[in-house]
Every structure is written in C-alpha cells, then in structure tokens.
Homo-oligomer: A and B are copies of this chain.
C-alpha cells in the first residue's frame, strides 16, 4: 500500500489573506467562523463578507491538526455494494451529516486482515471514531484501537463483550425466533441454509439460534437439514433442490442469509411447486422485494438503517464527552409472517 498521495487543490487563499483583506487579525477571522457570537455584529459581517468575496475555503485539515480534533468518522463494512450494509451506511451518513462530521468508508471484503489494514489507515487519518460491522478482529487491530483510544462501535452482532460499544440485534436470537415461529405454524422438518458458519461469525450465531430452537422443541439435529452455501440467488435455489433430495420430507426451509430465499422461491415457481404447500420458505432480511413476490415471503425484519443511525448517535454522544453511554444497544428484530409459510 504505497501512499500514492497527490497535489491538493491550489486554493492559495488562506485565513491570513482574509484577515489582511478585511483589515483584521487572523484570529478574528477564525472566530468569525467558529464562535461568531464572540465578535461584534459589525466585525463579523465584515469578515464573512470578505470570506465570501475572495472565495476563501477553510482548511479543516489544518484546523484539525492545530486543535487536535477530527471531524471524520471511519466506517468499515464487509461489502459496500451489499444492500444490507449500504442501508446501515446510509443511516450513519444521515446522522453524521447533521453534526458536520464526515464519513470515511471502506470495505474489508469479509477479510480480517483487510480490516486490520483499514483500521491502521483510518487511525493514521486520525478519525475521531470507528464503526465496524465485524465483531471479530485481529489482535493487532484490537491493540491499535486500544492505543488510539478512539470510540468504536460494532454493528454486526450483539457481541457479548464488545471492544467498546455494540449496536445491533442478536443473530442467534433472531434465528431462534424464526425457527420457533415456523414450528409454531406446524412445520415439522425445518431446514436451515446460510453462508458458511466456519468463515462467517454471523452465520455461526444464526446456526446456534436454529439449534437452540430445535433443542427447545425437543427435536433432533439432522445434518441433512442444514446447508452452507455461497452467496447469490442461484445458491439458494440449488440449496433447496439439494436439501429436498437429501431429505424429501423437509416441509420448510429457513434461509438465513442474503438473497437465498428469493432464489429458492423463483426456482419453485419455475418448477410449478406451490409455496408454502409443497415447501415453505422463510428469509432473513426484509428486502423490499420480499413483499412483492408471489407469494410474498415471510422473513425477519432487521433494523439495518436504524443500526447505522443509533451507532452514529452513540458515537456523537461519546465525542461530546459523555461516558454514560450504554455498552450494548439491542435494536431487536421482527418476524414478518406472510404467505410463504
């Protein structure tokens, strides 16, 4: 990672130029911008007019250095283009913007190593806070964050022991609740499909929740009813076909990730299978599209946008010096029962 830096804009107008042009001292200009009420109406107007006239653009980077502050927050998500994460990013951006903070965004590509590198880079940019979707980090990453002393909020799962703070829902509880919901609707052989629990902590938690529900129901675990697949519509379809072949009596499948449920539903349509009569289908996230399919899909509704917002709000509170902020904020989830189950 070579620091391929580059010439910044040639905006040669400095605060001092404004001061000279207005016939005041540099500090007066600085105050006109940051503490307008500490200047006389007259001086303030003079300065602001001059700023406007000569087109001065403040240099926040110099301001940050001088004041040892920062107005940039770093956020790292597994993937920028995954709509689930971009919902969270949107929530974060909305809140930060209202407070004049900026968002430095990067994606780790689901890699811990990459996340570590990004954390180092963001810390070098002197971000005033970190928003991490991951709840798992390399030891070096943890050490860097600890030393930097910046507030951190983890949003991917409601970790038992957050690095600092966590704003999320419980993946395990959500998966457990949906499994119990399906059982409650009479399904006896409930399958579970997710991304690989080996590489994905969130999938692991969801699988735990599924197993926990089975235990509560006094039902045995059946490997034929569990599948780990790669991402994508096609993967959901294939997982359904495979599972039905392995366990022909499966009567419902809970797709705990991504767009699997939609892929499976379309495959069922293609084969003329009735949903939920032939096979019931439930999804994880309440993507807009799920309420427009035929039949509409039962799923969990997770507060993705709200997570981004609350995380940002919590960060703001900490930045304002409050130390009574909660360590864990559980934003919960909702089961949306529709025609597919």
Contacts and interface: CB of A to CB of B under 8 A. Distances in A.
Interface of A: 1-11, 13, 34, 55, 57-62, 64-65, 67-72, 79-81, 83, 86-87, 89-90, 93, 97, 99-107, 120-129, 143-144, 147-150, 232-234, 237, 259, 262-263, 266, 269-270, 288-289, 292-294, 305, 316, 319-321
Contacts of A147: 9, 11, 13, 55, 57
Contacts of A233: 288-289, 292
**What is the predominant secondary structure among interface residues of chain A facing chain B?**
mixed
Contacts of A8: 64, 68-70, 126-128, 150
Contacts of A93: 80, 105-107
A4 B55 contact: no
B105 A103 contact: yes
Nearest to A66: B65
A295 to B, nearest CB: 10
B6 A124 contact: no
Q: Which 5 A-B pairs have the closest CB atoms?
A: A6-B319, A9-B148, A4-B99, A81-B90, A9-B150
Contacts of A72: 104, 125
Contacts of A11: 123, 147-149
A168 B5 CA distance: 25
Contacts of A86: 80-81, 83, 86
B59 A126 contact: yes
A65 B68 contact: no
A55 B143 CA distance: 9
A179 B210 CA distance: 49
Contacts of A64: 5, 8, 61
Nearest to A79: B90
B104 A103 contact: yes
Most chain-B CB neighbours within 10 Å: which of A65, A122, A259? Answer: A65
B80 A124 contact: no
Most chain-B CB neighbours within 10 Å: which of A8, A61, A123, A292? Answer: A8
Most chain-B CB neighbours within 10 Å: which of A1, A97, A102? Answer: A102
A319 B4 contact: yes
A6 B71 contact: yes
Contacts of A68: 7-8
B4 A71 contact: yes
Contacts of A4: 71, 99-101, 316, 319-320
A127 to B, nearest CB: 8
8 contacts: A55-B144, A55-B147, A60-B124, A60-B126, A79-B90, A80-B89, A104-B105, A233-B289
